[in-house]
Structure 1
Amino acid sequence: MAAGYLTTHVLDTARGVPAAGIKIALYRVAGNSHRKIAEAVTNADGRTDAPILPKGKFKAGQYELIFFCGAYLEAAELATGEVKFLDEVPIRFGIADEDAHYHVPLLLSPYGYSTYRGS
């Protein structure tokens, strides 16, 4: 059994705080097929309460995290109106090492975002 796992968190870089209450969906991607395999919501620390892809379910392949940020940005008064510049933020990435910890965070502001492979 693979010992690796996947974690994530969201930081609100516009306000310099963790982003709580953001829904996150994780999809397994194969060609044009997307299959949802997990869903979570960020806690007060901007993290999920458990790995979004825990040991035992962690497999090599292509994945996509979708961060549903629109409601958070609106509640924080960082975005208004029906059409927001950022609403759903997708991050597609690959997992090659089934025994590693992959951490894919989202650094979020109303008009931009970034990510990296963390630890």
Structure 2
Amino acid sequence: MSTSTTASVSTHILDTSIGRPAEGVAVQLSARLGREADWQALGGSATDADGRCKDLPALPEGTTHVRLDFAVEPYFEESAKKQADAQQDAPANRDSGAAFFPEVAITFAVVPGEHYHVPLLLNPFGYSVYRGS
């Protein structure tokens, strides 16, 4: 595929509640070819120890919109379990170990030839996203 006719996407996640990358978060990538077109699921990946997805699928030629779906609830459940195991007598600082947002879906427009790095800053009760470099 030529980078002049397709866009490319990368992402990473930082858990701002602990100041570390979020490892093991499943990420699904979807694309559509026009505002009115149906979404096409392209596949997915999971974040590595650095919080990065290094093997997201390539976008089809003609992609105009991209959606990244982050499954964050299992990540926070596992984090809460690890925290509870480490601090058995300490009070929990999260509501029942579940994230307020069980999933995060980010949709953005793309143009051919551009690379889009989309970092997700995450905590149990909120998130922020931006176009990185």
TM-score interval, normalised by the smaller of the two chains: 0.7 to 0.9
User: Given that residues 44 and 57 in structure 2 are in contact (C-alpha distance below 8 angstroms), is that contact kept between their aligned partners in structure 1?
Assistant: no
Query: How far is the alpha carbon of 1:59 from its aligned partner?
Result: 4.1
Does residue 63 of structure 1 match 2:66? Answer: yes
Counterpart among 17, 21, 27 of residue 20 in structure 2:
17
Within 5 Å, give how 1:36-115 maps onto structure 2: 36-50=41-55, 52-54=56-58, 57=60, 59-77=62-80, 79=94, 81=96, 84-96=99-111, 98-115=112-129
Q: Which amino acid letter does the alignment assign opposite residue 2 of structure 1?
A: S
Tell me, which stretches of 5 or more residues in structure 1 are unaligned? Answer: none
Distance 2:120 2:14 in 1: 6
Q: Is the helix fraction higher in 1 or 2?
A: 2
Query: How far is the alpha carbon of 1:38 from its aligned partner?
Result: 2.1
- Once structures 1 and 2 are overlaid, which stretch shifts more, 83-92 or 16-25? 83-92
Secondary structure at 1:105 match in 2: strand
Secondary structure at 1:33 match in 2: coil
RMSD of aligned residue pairs (Cα, Å): 2.3
Secondary structure at 2:52 match in 1: coil
Divergent runs of 4+, >2 A: 29-34, 56-60, 78-84
Distance 1:102 1:79 in 2: 33
Q: Which amino acid letter does the alignment assign opposite residue 64 of structure 1?
A: R
User: Given that residues 12 and 19 in structure 1 are in contact (C-alpha distance below 8 angstroms), is that contact kept between their aligned partners in structure 2?
Assistant: yes
Deviations 1:13-35 (A, max 9, x none): 11000000000001114537222
- Once structures 1 and 2 are overlaid, which stretch shifts more, 84-93 or 31-40? 31-40
Query: How far is the alpha carbon of 1:106 from its aligned partner?
Result: 0.7
Secondary structure at 2:122 match in 1: strand
Does residue 7 of structure 1 match 2:10? Answer: yes
Tell me, which stretches of 5 or more residues in structure 2 are unaligned? Answer: 81-92
Q: How many residues align?
A: 116
Instruction: Tell me the residue number matched to 1:31.
Output: 36
Query: What is the TM-score of this pair, normalised by structure 1?
Result: 0.84
